[in-house]
Amino acid sequence: MKGNGDQTMRTISFAQATLEAMEEEMTRDGSVFVMGEDIARQGGIFGQFKGLPDKFGKERVIDTPISETAIVGAAIGAALAGMRPVADMHFADFMGVCFDEIFNQMAKIHYMFGGQKSIPMVLRAPDGMINQAAAQHSQSVEAFFAHIPGLKVVIPSNPADAKGLLKAAIRDDNPVIYFEHKGLFSMKGEVPEGDYVTPIGKAKVVRQGKDVTLVSYSMMMNHAIKAADELEKDGISVELIDLRSVSPIDEETILNSVAKTTRLVIAHEAVKRCGVGAEIAALVAEKAIDCLDAPIVRVGSPFTPVPFARILEKEYRVTTDTIVAGVRKVFA
């Protein structure tokens, strides 16, 4: 099948798409290498690095001790020395262990050195809820890092953007955090063959609509699409925006959409309080409040740790039905 620009499209999984991105970038640029726990021995906890040691050797696919601080610190040093490291965090939840390295070193060295040095590195961070992974292995923490100047934060929702955003992140001269939802690794979708990048900081209008703007990203984008299908049956035309990047946020695409639809709903899996949805709501309130015909609605998880018990986990989850209910509020 042909896609845009006559590129051949194949159906592959999210994990395969990220693996392709790694293989292509490591082949293209000898300064790219990957490091983390169980990368070479196991191929990554979700199999997203399988086969890389055979192709590139263990000097470029490096197993590390169980120390996130050491992993990120070593990656920063390698980036300062002219390499392009990709450091895997195993689970995004573990980024708290190395927060000083991210917050005070990775994000700030370029500024503290007066722009004389860059930190071209990527942190890959599997995040989000899967079945009964509980409070310490299920969190969505993208808003923490979107608040830090000096970092770019990307968060794909589908295999094509998973590949394109990872390639863009590796090529970027700034530090990029690449969140990849654990529940998406097995998701299949059409991915162009060959070289392409998805621009960082540019949202995608997934579906044109006229009645309400629905902004989402990552796993929730797939629920948002289903919600829009359900609402269409009732004659509600939803304009869908996939953020793809939460820092920088594509303000222009959001504001243009709200000016057209006059209603806004933001949905994400992270807790609603102080989340990315709050930032987008503030943006629209400050710059486009006169366009709105209804209050802004945010959809997110409750302000509690992610529960382990199945019955509580079910109640905690943001679902297609949760998003549908949120959209209906702006028409009440």
Domain ranges of the chain: 10-192, 204-329
Query: Edge-to-edge strands of the sheet including 61-63?
Result: 61-63, 32-36, 84-88, 122-127, 176-181, 152-154, 245-247
Report the top-level CATH class of 204-329. alpha beta
| Rg, Å, the chain Cα set | 20
pLDDT at position 134:
85
Q: Report yes or no: 297 and 201 within 8 Å, Cβ to Cβ.
A: no
Which residues in the chain show pLDDT less than 70?
1-6
pLDDT at position 6:
63
- The pair phi, psi for residue 124, each rounded to 5°, is -90, 130
90, 110, 137, 268: the active-site residue: 137
Q: What whole-number distance in Å separates Cα of residue 252 and Cα of residue 289?
A: 15
pLDDT at position 85:
98
pLDDT at position 297:
98
pLDDT at position 303:
94
Active-site residue 268, yes or no? Answer: no
- pTM, two decimal places: 0.95
pLDDT at position 1:
40
**Distance of CA 113 to CAs 80, 172, 185, Å?**
11, 18, 38
CATH 3.40.50.970 assigned to 10-192: yes
